[in-house]
Amino acid sequence: MPLIRKLAFLVGAVDMPRERHAHTKPTATLGGLAIFLSFTIMAFLAPIDRSNALPLFVGMLIIVGTGVIDDIKELSPKLKLAGQVLAALCVTIWGGIMVHHIYLPFLGRIEFGYFAIPISIFWILAIVNAINLIDGLDGLAGGVSTIALMTIGGMALLLGNMGSAFTAFLLVGALLAFLVFNFPPASVFMGDTGAMFIGFMIAILSLMEFKNVTLISLLIPIIILGVPFTDTFFAIIRRLKQKNIDFDGRSLAHSSSTFGIRIEQSANRIITLCDRGFILRN
């Protein structure tokens, strides 16, 4: 992580203190690159089947590349979304990772047919941007994502899907190492690189684990990520009303700190809410 911090300052991937930001000194924003590199190295060294991993790896490179460029040069929202869509297309169309049908109470099995790809892409974009939106307080996005990945990994173990479980727990390990440097006072942020990469992997793992889903299995990631999903939903509504797609500093995390709640208290309370979702699921 110290090497990534030096690299971030060298290339200009630094978040400067501003009115709506909680930190008070320049902070490196390439922590997500360290998460990606550590996960990728361990995944390639591990004795697991990688025969169908190329589409996922290319999708990861696209999402991480988009995040790195955004952390350095601050891409427009349209360009950032284009990168996310391209990564999602890569894993759905090329990799075949998508949800094909769902089982609903009283209605039985409902096939998505041609809508399988757009529904899966929407799911990926929703989770990527939900995690990205809450990456505003030290330790928050990392803590929430760790809970989500532990849940997905645990369910994968119960279902006998060792590949998904191993991937989820590798990501948990990478996140825990990152959180050492990210809890208040943070010396490095995961940045858009990390938030989008982790959101992307959570979305992909949930699709891989629940390809042929029931209503309950579909709701599990939503329950665990209830806070970021709710935050994202109201942020979209608010920005549509204002005809403004830029960040307005009014997410739940930033609003709570505005009302006098300390940064670590805000992050801990939101992580606790997500942890309640984990307990509820179990």
Q: State pLDDT tens for residues 115-168.
A: 999 999 999 998 998 888 877 666 778 888 898 898 888 888 888 888 889 999
How many residues are there in the chain? 282
Average pLDDT in the chain: 78
Helix/strand/coil for 139: coil
Of the listed ranges 29-43, 143-157, 205-219, 265-279, the one predicted with least confidence: 265-279
Please indicate if the annotation marks 132 as binding a ligand: yes
pLDDT band for position 173 (cuts 50, 70, 90): very high
- pLDDT at position 255 is 46
Predicted TM-score of the model (pTM)? 0.81
Q: What angle do CA 200, 201, 206 make, to 5 degrees?
A: 105
C-alpha separations of 22 from 71, 120, 131, 138, 263 in Å: 17, 34, 18, 9, 7
Domain that holds residue 47: 2-96+105-281
DSSP 115: G
Count of domains for the chain: 1
231 is in an annotated binding site: no
Query: What was the pLDDT predicted at 174?
Result: 94
